[in-house]
Chains A and B, each alone.
Chain A
Amino acid sequence: MTVKIKENKPSSQLQDNGTKSTHHSTKNFKISDIFVKILIYFMLLTISVIVIVPIIWIVGAAFNPGNSLFSSTIIPKNFSTVHFRTLFRETDFPIWYKNTLKIATINMFVSVLLTTSAAYVFSRYRFKGRKFGLMTMLILQMFPSFLAMTAIYVLLLQVGLLNTHMGLILVYATGQIPYNTWLAKGYFDGIPRSIDEAAKIDGASNLMIFRKIILPLAKPIIAFIAITNFIGPWMDFILPRLILRSADKKTLAIGLWEMAVQQHNTKFTVFAAGSVLVAIPITILFIYLQKHIVEGLTKGAVKS
């Protein structure tokens, strides 16, 4: 106890200088300080356990031989990679992986291009229909609908894009336009206009200003839009089920979802192995880029 009090001496002096607190109350404050510290670390640890247990459990299940959800213990008794082998030999996992990677990558580029260019125009130009366009986008994305899926299905069927990755990418890229355009526009609004006006005086064209001036300054929001659009296809199992009809076109999310739901949990451990393989790259990517994600999100959506 006494040692701890000594350690905190400097701040207690500061406290004494600024306030009329007596010696007695300062000592009380110190004891409660230690109590607070213990409490804080206790909470940090408890929350960490709550966060991590489901993750450890699924990783454990992936390496646990046997296929039942109920026999899996948290730490596998016999470490085994049998489920990973099953995944690659007996399911189309590699094809799903390849399909998803392809869809996610193309979707990322298309979406970033559409969104940033639209946001740039909405942020920098004043034209007839601008206000209407912004409001319409905001309202359109609020309509909840699974009925819309029927219309999308028939439309893609009529133009021959059903059961193609191209069709799915178009639906994804279009669906993200309203929200991300608003977000990116919010970010662009924060970039001083004087910069591009100066460039305009120097004779830069519209496209040049966008490419050479705005885009480099907007890296965080571009990173945010790119990541969210890259991650999206890995998670969605609703639209692919509607649009992609044949087995060789499937994405990971459908494959995993079918494993988890349809087989009375007998494929649970294979599902776990697949989930681990999906979650690891995405989690690493996310943690690695979290600074950009948070910054893009904060500056795009939060106004101070």
Chain B
Amino acid sequence: MNKPKKAAILSLLFMGLGQFYNKEKIKGIIFAAIEIFILINIPYFTYSFWGLITLGETPQYFYNGLAYGDHSIFLLIQGIIAVLVIFIFILIYILNVTDAQRTAIAREKGIKPMSFKSFVKYSFDKYFPYIILTPCFILMLFLTVLPLLFSISIAFTNYAAPFKLPPKNLVDWVGFENFRNLVNMPIWNSTFIGVAIWTVIWAVLSSVTSYFAGLFLALLINAKEVKLKKFWRSIFILPYAIPAFISILVMRLMFTGLGPINSIVVSLGFERVPWLTNSTLAKVMLILVNIWLGAPYFMALMSGILTNVSNDLYEAADIDGATRFQKFTKITLPLVFHATSPLLILSFTHNFNNFMIIFLLTSGNPANPAYRYAGDTDILISWIYKLTLEQNQFHMASVVSILIFIFIATVSALTFSKTKSFKEEDLMQ
């Protein structure tokens, strides 16, 4: 057997062996230590996998004042963590085998193996991208991918109040039952469809209105008649600068039933207006408050673009006798559209999941008795909030999350693939 093959097989048998065979002691010790660490923890991993598969076998009980038994959700998360750790271990294992083989090949050719120090320096240069990305990779694996896998898993369990709530009860895997229930059970079905329709209407209207309101503000400030442009721009950008949760709460307090707006209305001799408690009016208010909050962002963006539009274009148009309106529709609008249309899509996906404004302004109210745990102004994401943090209906929340994800991912994929900027990028190489 030739040396490279031998080194690879040795490393495959036990991490680090191939490195010792290649007379690279420090590397060998490091790899061997990792393998020993995993071996010591085998009971932990078998327990974790058992937990992941069964989700526990004995519900929690108390004995002499101490709690015993299994907590399904902890077991599920621990199981996923174990899978991720094993995944990293496999990556290191592959690295270990290829490294042993590569060094052995080099040795056969008569190249002296590098000292550990120069090896570190060499790999830092050669594998620079991977080394730089490692912290991001580890962080995202555990704080983004793990929560994501967990959220998806819940859709296939019966984790929900009142009967399947750990630690008192165990949770079970149920396959696609929740998806079937969402389609078949009228109360879930009608809530989902009702909320989803309003979510789409909301996402479209809120994005389009603040986009055009922003464009309008930018054009207004950019008009040649306006003096002190910087002054006006600083005023108009205020809503973007003030922490949004404060301004939304302020709006909520201003428009409550007995709030200051209604006292003005009453003093003018009218009835109190149910700004946030009438279904239709509350929806209109959401859109209006969202314009207040969102238009300055687009204004800032578009004034940047407008000031960059070459004046020659307008002068040429003047010579041709174009009216103000013609200049606007034939020059300004196409240029702005071209530069900002991807942002309009981003804004759509943002508003589709714009939890903060719904939660803080109306909390989804007024309540709708025909809906399950949702109000008239609830969008899918705020419904999910209620399902998880208020009603403990985790299984359905997870199903709805997955559906939102599929929808948003499809919309984004379709629009991004059509965007010029994405095609120019050498991702498509």
Q: Which residues of A does B touch, CB under 8 Å? A: 14-15, 18-21, 33, 36-37, 40-41, 43-44, 47-48, 50-52, 54-55, 57-58, 69-70, 72, 74, 114, 117-118, 120-121, 125, 127, 130-131, 133-135, 137-152, 154-155, 158, 170-171, 173-175, 177-178, 181, 186, 189, 205-206, 231, 234-235, 237, 253, 256-257, 260-261, 265, 268, 271, 275, 278-279, 282-283, 286-287, 290, 293-295, 297-298, 301-304
Contacts and interface: CB of A to CB of B under 8 A. Distances in A.
Contact of A54 (B142, B223, B254, B304): B254
Given A158-B78, A304-B338, A54 B250 contact: yes
Given A142-B405, A175-B144, A148 B150 contact: yes
Contacts of A57: 250, 254, 260
B145 to A, nearest CB: 7
Contacts of B408: 142, 144
A152 to B, nearest CB: 6
Given A20-B321, A48-B235, A58-B250, 18 more contacts: A37-B225, A44-B220, A44-B232, A51-B235, A70-B260, A114-B139, A134-B427, A135-B427, A140-B144, A142-B408, A144-B404, A148-B151, A151-B150, A158-B81, A177-B136, A177-B144, A231-B243, A253-B243
Contacts of A286: 237, 240-241
B253 A268 contact: yes
Query: What are the 7 A-B residue pairs with the smallest beta carbon separation, nearest first?
Result: A148-B147, A303-B421, A286-B241, A151-B150, A151-B147, A147-B151, A174-B143
A41 B231 CA distance: 13
Give the secondary structure class of A's interface. Answer: helix
Contact of B343 (A44, A237, A301): A301
A155 B234 contact: no
- Chain B interface bracket (under 10, 10 to 19, 20 to 34, 35 or more): 35 or more
A268 B366 CA distance: 23
5 contacts: A144-B381, A147-B147, A175-B143, A278-B246, A294-B303
Contacts of B221: 44
Interface in B181-234: 217, 220-221, 223, 225-226, 232, 234
A279 B420 contact: no
A104 to B, nearest CB: 12
A278 B243 contact: yes
A69 B259 contact: yes
Given A142-B412, A294-B304, A52 B235 contact: yes
Contacts of A275: 243, 246, 249-250
A127 B139 CA distance: 20
B326 to A, nearest CB: 13
Given A18-B319, A21-B321, A158-B78, A117 B241 contact: no
B125 interface: yes
